[in-house]
Structure formats: C-alpha cells, structure tokens
Chain A
Amino acid sequence: MSLSHPMRSRLVIAATFLVALVLSILPWPVWTEQFRPDWVALVLIYWCMALPGRVGVGTGFLAGLILDVLYGSMLGENALAKSLIAFLTVHFHLQLRMFPRWQQAVVVLLLVITNNLLVLWIKHLAGASPAAWSYLTPSIVSMLIWPWLFVILRDIRRHGNVG
C-alpha cells in the first residue's frame, strides 16, 4: 500500500462505518424492521474498544449526526446517543477488552439499550410516543450479532494493519 499508515487506518475505519450506515437504511420487509440491529452502535463500540485513541466521542457524534440526516430524525438525537455510548465504551475500554466474549455481548446489550432508551425518551419529549417495549428487540439482536461482528472487525483490523 502506498498510503501512509494513519491515513489508511482512517480509511478502513470510515469504510466500516459506511457499511454500517448503509445497513442501517437498507430496506427490508416491514415485519423484520423490529429486529434490525443497531449496526452503527456495534461498529462504534468495537472501534472505541480497540482503538480508543483514534475513535472516540467525536466519531460517535459524527456518525450519529449522519444517521440523523439519513433517517430524517431531529438533528442531534442519534448524535447525542452515539456520543454517550462512545464515551462509556472509551471510559471502560480496558475492562471491556478483558471480558470474555459473552460478557462483552451483555455489556453491548446494555449500551444499545441505553442508546435506544435515550432516543425513545427524546422522541417522547418531541411529541411522538412509540410503543414502550419496541426498543428491546433491536437491542437483543445487537447482542446476538456482537460475537460474530467482533471477529469480522478484528480480522479487518489485523489484515488492514489498522492501529
């Protein structure tokens, strides 16, 4: 690769976020929508855990803001939620790295639930009141996907020599 090392890292990270964003708005049959995992949150948690010096609150904010524009939700809604989970992940990244995979998945569940509850709460304040338990299924699906996504992203990080 002719690109310099930090530049290439940045490109690889941006590419994974791009894929996550596309997956977030990829159309599926309507009934599957309640099972759609929070791809952006998962990718964000991985990079915050693996490279907290490179990916952090600012990246979370930016990814959330892009998500807000793509979804047409209030600007800042997802940005706030994603900054919060980025902050929590970076803060606890040393513990998270030590955890076995299943325990990581539980933490991911809690983080995604935090994210979804914050978004739901903001929506309630803004006037729309979605069904009370609708945040739970996407969070659980996110938890179930985490171990596989972790392996994929780790391989990407190693092969892409991202550091």
Chain B
Amino acid sequence: MFQIAGIQLRAPSNLTRFVLLAILSVSLMLLDARAHHLQHIRAGLTVLLSPIQVIAAVPVRLGGAVMDFFRGDQPLHEELARLRTEQPLLLARMQRYEALEAENAHLRALLGTSALVADKAVAAELREVASEPFRRTLVIAKGEKDGLYVGQPVIDAYGIRGQVSEVGILQSKAILITDPGHAIPVQVNRNGLRAIAFGTGAPDSVSIRYLTASADIKEGDLLISSGIGGSFPYGYPVARIKQVINNPNEAFLDIIATPVALLGHDKEVLLIWPSQKVLPPPTPAKPLAEKKPVASKKPATPKPQPAAVKPLVPQAAPKPDPEALTGTPPPPAPLPSPTEGATP
C-alpha cells in the first residue's frame, strides 16, 4: 500500500506494471529509431555498462595469454621471418602502385573525372564482445574523439568489412556487410556490371539481388565497391561470387557471394576516411564556364574524343554527394570541354 497526499493507493498489479513498461518500451523505440533523440543517453549508458564488457573480454584475453605462454616464442620467430620476407615484396609492389596511381590520376584528369586519391586509413582495435542475436556487428574501441562518423567504411587487409553505424564516446558500433540490414553498391570487376550486395545474417555470405538472367556474372567474379551512394569509396574488394542459380520461375537470378574480408573474430580493423568526397558535377555546363581559362592554358593536353568520352563520364564518376557539391569549390582537375576538343 502506498500513501500519496493522504490517498491510499494499492501497489500496481502485475498487468498494470507490464502495460506501463510496454508503453515505455515502445516510446523508447520510437524515439530511438525514428528521431535519434537518445544518442547521448545511450552513449552515457554504454560508458556506465562498460565494466560488463570488460569482464566479458577477460576469458578471451586470459585464454590468449595462456596459449602464448605454452607456445613459447618459436611461432613468433617464424612469423617475424615470414613478415620480413613478405615486406620487401609488398614494398616492391607499392613502387609500381605509386607510378600507376599517378598515371591513373593523369588519365582520369584527361577524362574529366576526379582522381582516385589514396584514402587515409587508421587501424582500430576491436572489443571482444559478441554480436547481438540475428545481427552481424562489431564493437570498435574508438569513438567521437578519434573523428569517427556514422557511415564510415570499415575494412581489413583483404576487403570491405562494413560501416560504422553508431559513434559513442569511447567505442563505436559497426555493422558488417553480412548484417541483414546492410546493403552495399558493388560492381563486377571484370566488366563493370552494377549490382547491390545485401547481407543475409549468415556469417559468410551476401546475396546479390535484382539481376536478370541476361546479366553477365559468373562464379569466381570479384565484386568491388562501385562508389555509388558516396559512403564507400570506389575500388575496394567486397565479395567473390560463389554460386549463380538461374531459376526460370523467378524474375531474377539467385546469387550468393562470399565476402573477401575476414569477418570472423579478429583483433583489428582499418577505418578509412575517403579522401575525396567532392566529385565533379555530372552536368558539364556550369564548371565549363569556370574552368575555361585553366583548360586553355594547357595547349599540350591531348584532344579528348567527345563522342567516346561523354558516355564514359557518368559511368566513371560515382554519384556526387549533394551536400558536398553545394558548399565546396569544384576539384582542381581540368575539365576538357567537348567544344574545345572539336575546335582547338
């Protein structure tokens, strides 16, 4: 029995409590999902509850330490030797990569599209915490102060893993490309065919939907990020086609692909800051007027073939970010105009 302001009140019944808390839950969900009003409350609660995560990570750490103790330093020596032989090889390949990158930037400048510049990447440690049931997520031990943002691509040494979905004070959450709520625009590396790779919730597969039977796609094809949509930069490996099932009763092909990134429990991921969010506008009219003096200063620029170049441009340039386009100046790459090309 409660007594509030002289009035006798019975303790609320089980059903009343449930109804009240259910209403509270639903309103919390609506606030959280639709309006994102609860971000700061959630960030605070996460910090408050981080001891539970620390406790959960202890057995894994301890197991690792025990394993290291019994293994001794022989494997470490082997790994060091392997890395020592591997590094010069990779460096040698990098030399050529830089030359190719410069050449690529030059060629793209001739085509009038923005150059692909190397992205800034930072390694980030993962929290050893299991994923939510029915989802595929990671917890990254970096937060707001490290400059993470929602939608940031997360990769590893082999390909794209996912994207940051929530940035907290001390840690952030990322959803993997296999998460059932995730989709990533891709293209077939062999022929540039566009597609979207959807997560299924299975730990090691994504599905490619909405491709008709006439699409040129087959087992073993590598899918790379196409850069459309603006959140993932162009050209990172995503998945490899595992199976293409053509069921004549269905409108689209049933395609399963295996992600190339290691999506299992790993210690580290790479966070990238795509270097060029600003892309040239797809309509040549506006930048043409601004760019004319720059273009005319370069008489040595080889003549582009307007008829051949023009259809290429919208394909090569990923969809421009509308926010980035309004506030920032156009990129420095000179845009050769079709009219100048015709009358030098």
Interface residues of A (CB under 8 A from B): 18, 21-22, 24-31, 33, 36, 38, 56-58, 61, 64, 66, 69-77, 79-80, 83-84, 86-87, 90-91, 116, 119-120, 122-123, 126-131, 134-135, 138
Contact = CB atoms under 8 A, between A and B. Distances in A.
A72 B132 contact: yes
7 contacts: A27-B60, A27-B129, A70-B53, A73-B132, A80-B26, A122-B29, A134-B201
A77 B29 contact: yes
Interface stretch (B11-19, B224-232, B301-309, B331-339): B11-19
A75 B29 contact: yes
A74 B265 contact: no
Contact of B42 (A69, A84, A134): A69
Interface centre among B18, B22, B24 (most CB of A within 10 A): B18
B89 interface: no
Contacts of A130: 134-135, 180, 201
B203 A131 contact: no
Interface of B: 14-15, 17-18, 21-22, 24-29, 31-33, 38, 41-42, 45-46, 49, 52-53, 55-57, 59-60, 128-135, 137, 139, 165-166, 173, 179-181, 200-203, 263-265
B266 to A, nearest CB: 11
A116 B133 contact: yes
A57 B14 contact: yes
Given A29-B264, A30-B265, A70-B53, A126 B33 contact: yes
A27 B333 CA distance: 48
A27 B202 contact: no
A58 B17 contact: yes
B197 to A, nearest CB: 15
B135 A61 contact: no
A22 B32 CA distance: 24
Given A74-B29, A79-B25, A28 B130 contact: yes
A22 B25 contact: no
Contact of B132 (A71, A116, A135): A71
Contacts of B203: 30-31, 33
A152 to B, nearest CB: 19
Given A18-B52, A75-B31, A79-B25, 12 more contacts: A27-B57, A27-B129, A27-B265, A36-B130, A66-B49, A70-B49, A76-B29, A80-B21, A84-B18, A119-B134, A128-B134, A131-B202
Given A29-B264, A131-B180, A80 B29 contact: yes
